[in-house]
């Protein structure tokens, strides 16, 4: 570890904190339907879309209607991607002549993109046409991110409103979020990325003759427009197979730094939106503080583990840390930081191969996802996941003093706690359940690339990442098989929607409640005690659930490595 490394980490954290309030303020205005500086240009587009759709801007929806609208919207999104992939050979913008994608792989990919996972069982440059990348994947990069944000906003409205029947209008929320928040950031962002060297072309792959006279085919494409939203929307599906490690997808240290910022900025700002909407920004800062504690702990361990290198390297006297699977322009620190950022959020873009990380360095991304990606988290999804833990935390605090728990003026009752537990418990079932099946099912075992405990880690990582809707991978595992395509799609689907439905039920239940003014007996949720208790609850729930599985994978591998074993 170096001083310059820590300076990069510190500046990164400072910028995120500094952006949270201004971005949060702007987002709050958008969701409250107030005028913004973009209204003169965008209002006519917005109004036109409502007219075509027959949507009345001022009519709000019950939580169940809101949820049904969201689900219907996703059915449509699923078919767009699936059919584009199956028929890409007959459609335009296919200069590389990509052939139709097989049904299981198309199914897996379509589920993957509507759930904001962006798991890659395909290699972008070797499988997909430009049309699929744009109309299929880029569009769903926007819409799945927007969905996460508006669902979190619906939940926040549940906390903020008193005796209300409705929590917003899904159609209005997604239209505003796309037009006023994501697109206006993506346009200058994509141009910045191109300026730094990212390709953006519809031209065919380039044939070069290398200095030694060999032929090199260089894949290009409309990369920048997709990468901008891939990061901002915490989607993470790469244009290229190597994702953000590919020099075209992440050309410089500066693009790498900005990409990391853009992964976390909206998630961090959502905590501020929460604070503003419930009328006390300190409530938002308390949640961000709890996220920050977990984030910095993860970065410290990951950076330390990667900088220390592996036994294989150290025995040969190779100094400089574990560079296998990492790029020189990023080095150890920016690779370790990126790995923590991308799994703290539900992004899943990678700028280094996690499969080649040290045992403990690779365990941190896994833990981040197993906790449910609530450490800042995916846009929206992180905040609503975190609020589920907040519900549990105030419930535990209530048990300690024997009072009905309250949070931001709302009584948290048995029904709400049950729903929160339902949302929290589904992730371990998908992650551990499918892992258990895969490691005893011979065709699934055959996909494992690394022998020994690392092989188990590959499978555990795969289902952890998919159920948490992350999308990063221990890439050695051959995921493009019928078993992994189908089981992974189920894990992604359940991991997304089984969390959303109970969460929306809580939103509806909270909105209908009266606001209870704080009294002397109210547990303050803006101080250090609450932050500590929240972090404690998260670590205890996560630790009890996942420690046994982690012991079989990364922990035993670390001990084996220290003993000098190879497999």
Partner 1 sequence: MLKHIRPALTVLIGLTLITGLLYPLAITGIAGVLFPEQANGSLIERNGQIVGSALIGQNFTQDRYFHGRPSATTAPDPKDSTKTIDAPYNAANSMGSNLGPTSKALADRIKADVDKLKTENPAQPVPVDLVTASGSGLDPNMSPEAALFQVPRVAKARGLPEDGVRALVATHTEARLMGWLGEPRVNVLRLNLALDQGGGR
Pick out residues in 379-418 that bind partner 1 (CB under 8 A): none
Residue 370 Cβ vs partner 1, minimum distance, rounded to whole Å: 19
Residue 520 Cβ vs partner 1, minimum distance, rounded to whole Å: 47
List the one residue from 241, 280, 480, 522 that touches partner 1 (CB under 8 A). 241
Interface size with partner 1, residues (CB under 8 A): 129
User: 290 vs 350, which CB is nearer to partner 1?
Assistant: 350
Residue 395 Cβ vs partner 1, minimum distance, rounded to whole Å: 34
C-beta neighbour count of 141 within 10 angstroms? 28
Question: For residue 419, what are its two tokens?
Answer: 């729903």
Q: Is residue 199 at the binding interface for partner 1, with CB under 8 A as the rule?
A: yes
Name the segment binding partner 1 (CB under 8 A); options: 102-110, 152-160, 370-378, 471-479: 471-479
- Contact set for partner 1, span 73-92 (CB under 8 A): 73, 76-77, 80
Q: Is residue 240 at the binding interface for partner 1, with CB under 8 A as the rule?
A: yes
- Contact set for partner 1, span 502-561 (CB under 8 A): 557, 560-561
User: 52 vs 520, which CB is nearer to partner 1?
Assistant: 52
Question: For residue 106, what are its two tokens?
Answer: 């198309």
Handedness of CA 162, 165, 170, 172 (dihedral sign): negative
- Contact set for partner 1, span 409-468 (CB under 8 A): 449-454, 457
List the one residue from 14, 41, 202, 446 that touches partner 1 (CB under 8 A). 202
Q: For 407, phi and psi rounded to 5 degrees?
A: -145, 130
> For residues 269 and 19, is the Cβ–Cβ distance under 8 A?
yes
Residue 280 Cβ vs partner 1, minimum distance, rounded to whole Å: 34
Alpha-carbon separation of residue 373 from 215, 289, 348, 367, 428 (angstroms): 43, 15, 11, 9, 13
Site string for partner 1, 206-225 (x = CB under 8 A): xxxxxxx-x-xxxxx-x-xx
Residue 310 Cβ vs partner 1, minimum distance, rounded to whole Å: 4
**Tokens 């150290």, located at residue:** 314
User: 240 vs 546, which CB is nearer to partner 1?
Assistant: 240
Task: Tell which residue, 198, 155, 160, has the closest CA to residue 280.
Answer: 160
User: 290 vs 448, which CB is nearer to partner 1?
Assistant: 448
User: 332 vs 381, which CB is nearer to partner 1?
Assistant: 332
Q: How far apart (Å, rounded) are the C-alpha atoms in residues 122 and 108?
A: 10
Residue 30 Cβ vs partner 1, minimum distance, rounded to whole Å: 15
- Contact set for partner 1, span 334-373 (CB under 8 A): 334-335, 350-353, 355-359, 362
- Contact set for partner 1, span 288-327 (CB under 8 A): 309-313, 316-327
User: 246 vs 276, which CB is nearer to partner 1?
Assistant: 246
Residue 132 Cβ vs partner 1, minimum distance, rounded to whole Å: 10
Alpha-carbon separation of residue 484 from 235, 249, 439, 501 (angstroms): 20, 27, 12, 25
Helix or strand holding residue 206 (H, E): strand 206-209
User: 167 vs 561, which CB is nearer to partner 1?
Assistant: 561
Residue 37 Cβ vs partner 1, minimum distance, rounded to whole Å: 20
Question: For residue 311, what are its two tokens?
Answer: 């036994």
Q: Is residue 148 at the binding interface for partner 1, with CB under 8 A as the rule?
A: no
The CA-CA-CA angle for residues 80, 84, 89, to 5°, reads 170
Beta bridge partners of 217: 207
| Helix axis angle, 414-438 to 453-467, nearest 10° | 140
Q: How far apart (Å, rounded) are the C-alpha atoms in residues 44 and 41?
A: 7
| Helix axis angle, 359-370 to 331-344, nearest 10° | 20
Strands (E), 392-431: 406-407, 410-411
Residue 408 Cβ vs partner 1, minimum distance, rounded to whole Å: 31
User: 482 vs 524, which CB is nearer to partner 1?
Assistant: 482
Q: How far apart (Å, rounded) are the C-alpha atoms in residues 360 and 256?
A: 23
H, E, C per residue of 469-485 = CCCCCCCCCCCCCHHHH
- Contact set for partner 1, span 169-198 (CB under 8 A): 171, 174-175, 178-179, 183, 186-187, 190-191, 194-198
List the one residue from 18, 47, 162, 254 that touches partner 1 (CB under 8 A). 254
Name the segment binding partner 1 (CB under 8 A); options: 69-77, 285-293, 435-443, 528-536: 69-77
Name the segment binding partner 1 (CB under 8 A); options: 27-35, 204-212, 404-412, 510-518: 204-212
Alpha-carbon separation of residue 249 from 80, 239, 268, 313, 465 (angstroms): 25, 7, 24, 28, 21
Alpha-carbon separation of residue 430 from 135, 136, 420, 466, 553 (angstroms): 30, 27, 17, 9, 17
List the one residue from 119, 303, 384, 474 that touches partner 1 (CB under 8 A). 474
Q: For 217, phi and psi rounded to 5 degrees?
A: -90, 120
> For residues 500 and 68, is the Cβ–Cβ distance under 8 A?
no
Provide CB contacts within 8 A for 347, sequence distance 6+: 230, 231, 234, 235, 236, 263, 341, 378, 470, 471, 472
> For residues 148 and 496, is the Cβ–Cβ distance under 8 A?
no
- Contact set for partner 1, span 24-63 (CB under 8 A): 49, 52-55
Residue 318 Cβ vs partner 1, minimum distance, rounded to whole Å: 4
Residue 123 Cβ vs partner 1, minimum distance, rounded to whole Å: 6
List the one residue from 329, 422, 497, 515 that touches partner 1 (CB under 8 A). 329
- Contact set for partner 1, span 111-140 (CB under 8 A): 123, 125-126, 134-136, 138-139
Residue 362 Cβ vs partner 1, minimum distance, rounded to whole Å: 8
User: 152 vs 245, which CB is nearer to partner 1?
Assistant: 245
């Amino acid at each position: 570890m170096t001083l310059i490394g820590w300076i990069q980490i510190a500046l990164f954290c400072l910028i995120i904190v500094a952006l949270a309030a201004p971005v949060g303020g702007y987002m709050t205005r958008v969701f409250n339907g107030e005028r913004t500086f973009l209204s003169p240009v965008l209002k006519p587009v917005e109004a036109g879309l409502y007219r075509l759709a027959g949507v009345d801007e001022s009519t709000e929806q019950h939580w169940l209607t809101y949820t049904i609208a969201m689900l219907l919207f996703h059915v449509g999104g699923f078919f767009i991607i699936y059919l584009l992939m199956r028929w890409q050979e007959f459609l335009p913008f296919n200069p590389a002549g990509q052939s139709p994608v097989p049904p299981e792989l198309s199914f897996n990919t379509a589920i993957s993109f509507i759930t904001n996972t962006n798991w890659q069982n395909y290699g972008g440059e070797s499988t997909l046409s430009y049309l699929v990348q744009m109309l299929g994947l880029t569009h769903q990069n926007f819409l799945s991110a927007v969905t996460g944000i508006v669902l979190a906003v619906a939940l926040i409205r549940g906390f903020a409103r008193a005796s209300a029947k409705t929590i917003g209008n899904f159609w209005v929320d997604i239209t505003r979020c796309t037009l006023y928040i994501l697109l206006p950031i993506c346009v200058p962002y994509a141009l910045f990325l191109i300026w730094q060297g990212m390709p953006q072309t519809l031209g065919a792959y380039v044939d070069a003759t290398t200095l030694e006279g060999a032929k090199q085919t260089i894949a290009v494409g409309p990369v920048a427009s997709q990468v901008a939203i891939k990061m901002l929307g915490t989607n993470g599906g790469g244009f290229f197979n190597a994702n953000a490690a590919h020099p075209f997808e992440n050309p410089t240290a500066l693009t790498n730094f900005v990409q990391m910022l853009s992964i976390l900025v909206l998630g961090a700002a959502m905590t501020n939106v929460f604070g503003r909407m419930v009328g006390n920004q300190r409530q938002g800062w308390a949640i961000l503080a709890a996220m920050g504690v977990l984030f910095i702990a993860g970065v410290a361990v990951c950076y330390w583990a990667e900088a220390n290198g592996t036994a294989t390297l150290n025995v040969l006297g190779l100094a400089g840390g574990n560079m296998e699977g990492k790029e020189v322009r990023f080095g150890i620190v920016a690779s370790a930081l990126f790995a923590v950022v991308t799994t703290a959020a539900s992004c899943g873009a990678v700028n280094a191969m996690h499969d080649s990380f040290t045992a403990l360095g690779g365990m941190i991304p896994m833990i981040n996802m197993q906790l449910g990606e609530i450490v800042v988290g995916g846009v929206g999804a992180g905040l609503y996941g975190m609020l589920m833990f907040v519900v549990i935390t105030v419930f535990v605090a209530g048990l300690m003093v024997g009072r009905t728990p309250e949070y931001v003026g709302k009584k948290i009752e048995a029904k709400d706690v049950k729903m929160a537990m339902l949302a929290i418990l589904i992730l371990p079932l998908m992650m551990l359940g499918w892992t258990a099946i895969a490691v005893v099912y011979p065709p699934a075992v055959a996909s494992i690339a690394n022998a020994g405990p690392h092989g188990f880690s590959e499978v555990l990582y795969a289902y952890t990442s998919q159920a948490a809707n992350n999308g990063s991978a221990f890439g050695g595992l051959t995921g493009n098989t019928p078993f992994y395509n189908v089981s992974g799609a189920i894990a992604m689907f359940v991991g997304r929607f089984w969390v959303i439905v109970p969460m929306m039920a809580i939103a509806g239940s909270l909105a209908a409640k009266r606001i209870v003014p704080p009294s002397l007996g109210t547990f303050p949720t803006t101080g250090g005690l609450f932050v500590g208790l929240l972090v404690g609850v998260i670590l205890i729930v996560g630790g009890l659930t996942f420690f046994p599985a982690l012991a079989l994978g990364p922990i035993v591998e670390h001990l084996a490595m220290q003993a000098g074993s190879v497999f």
